[in-house]
Amino acid sequence: MPTYEYECKACGHRFEKSHSITAEAIKVCPKCHKRKVVRLISSGSGIIFKGSGFYATDYRKGAPASCPSAGSKSSCSSCPGSAK
Ligand SMILES: [Zn+2]
How does the average pLDDT of the chain come out, rounded? Answer: 73
**56 — pLDDT class (breaks 50, 70, 90):** very low
Amino acid in position 53: G
- Which of residues 21 and 8 earns the better pLDDT score? 8
Ligand 1 midpoint to CA 39 (Å)? 13
What distance, in Å, lies between the first and last C-alpha atoms of the chain? 40
**69 — pLDDT class (breaks 50, 70, 90):** low
Ligand 1 midpoint to CA 33 (Å)? 6
In this structure, how many other beta carbons lie within 10 angstroms of the beta carbon of residue 37? 23
The pLDDT assigned to 59 comes to 52
Closest of 6, 52, 2 to residue 29, by C-alpha: 6
The pLDDT assigned to 42 comes to 55
Ligand 1 midpoint to CA 48 (Å)? 25
Domain ranges of the chain: 3-40
Ligand 1 midpoint to CA 17 (Å)? 15
E-strand stretches of the chain: 3-8, 14-18, 37-40
Amino acid in position 24: E
Ligand 1 midpoint to CA 38 (Å)? 10
